[in-house]
Chain A
Amino acid sequence: MHALSSYLILSALLFSLGLYTVITRKNAVAILMGIELILNAANVNFIAFSKFVTHHVEGHLMAVFIIMLAAAEAAVALAIILNLYNDHGNINVDEANALKR
């Protein structure tokens, strides 16, 4: 049906856009969104390879663990971002350059 490369190109696009978001945004929540895009790109790759190359569901398991890590990471990151907001009044990462105030 669809070639493997159509999935891989989509995944490369998602990764690039996520990377662009991470390196250019100032807002910490936007950076978190970029990280989610990158993790989704990795998941698409894992599942595409598990269908087309290995033909085994182990790739799906990796994707399950990645989703789980993304959930844990989002919760902890949100807590850190809230602390940053309480300390600085905004969440621009380029202004958060002091360990302690």
Chain B
Amino acid sequence: MGEVIFWVIWALVAVSAMVVAFSKNLVYSVFSLLATFIGVAGIYIFLNADFLAVTQIVIYVGGILVLLVFGIMLTNRIVVAKITQSSLQRTTGLVVVGAIFLVLVLTLLNQTWPLATSAAEFDSTVNNIGELLFGDYLILFEVASVLLLGALIGAATLARKEL
């Protein structure tokens, strides 16, 4: 059962990411990005990353995706829901990216990874992540908070009409 669900989520992520990349309609792209983000959250759950799965849904789906939708709606004259987008150099891009994908897959399939010996799984990652954030990674955490504040002020300043 779990196996089936895993491959369903795997296919959901793959197909919706393809729609993001290939769809001619920008609105279809952004809504299939929603499916990609939720599918990746499901993948995180299969990897025992409970905190990350919730963070993914809250920040990506609740925050970044809404920002992207705002970006689309504010930068197009909306008369119909069909907002087309065009692409440059489709064939060349496909060839280059296909070659990169092939190299990546061949490399990672021929590589023997030093797998952890014990197959024990994390109970809950929240405690560990919290201890690390306020222990070893405290400075990074504080820098991140300042960076977020700077990004917020910078975005608000840039988006004003008169600079």
Cross-interface CB contact of B115 among A14, A16, A52, cutoff 8 Å? A52
Contacting pair A76 B29 (CB below 8 A): no
Contacting pair A12 B101 (CB below 8 A): yes
Chain B positions within 8 Å of A74 at CB level: 63-64, 67-68
- State how many angstroms separate the Cβ of A23 from the closest Cβ of chain B: 5
Chain A positions within 8 Å of B159 at CB level: 78-79, 82-83
Binary B-proximity of A4-16 (CB < 8 A = 1, otherwise 0): 1111111011111
Chain A positions within 8 Å of B80 at CB level: none
Docked CA distance A63–B75 (Å): 31
Contacting pair B40 A44 (CB below 8 A): yes
Contacting pair B132 A58 (CB below 8 A): yes
Q: Identify which of residues 1-41 in chain A touch chain B, using a CB-to-CB cut-off of 8 Å.
A: 1-2, 4-10, 12-21, 23-30, 32-34, 36-37, 40
Cross-interface CB contact of B70 among A18, A48, A78, A86, cutoff 8 Å? A78
- State how many angstroms separate the Cβ of A63 from the closest Cβ of chain B: 5
Docked CA distance A49–B114 (Å): 10
Docked CA distance A27–B27 (Å): 12
5 A-B pairs (CB sep. < 8 Å)? A6-B6, A16-B101, A20-B93, A37-B17, A64-B133
A-contacting residues of B (Cβ < 8 Å)? 2-3, 6, 10, 13-14, 17-18, 20-21, 26, 29-30, 33, 36-37, 40, 43-44, 46-49, 51-52, 55-56, 59-60, 63-64, 67-68, 70-72, 74-75, 85-90, 93-94, 96-98, 100-101, 104-105, 108-109, 113-116, 118, 120-122, 125, 128-129, 132-133, 137, 140, 144, 147-148, 151-152, 154-159, 161, 163
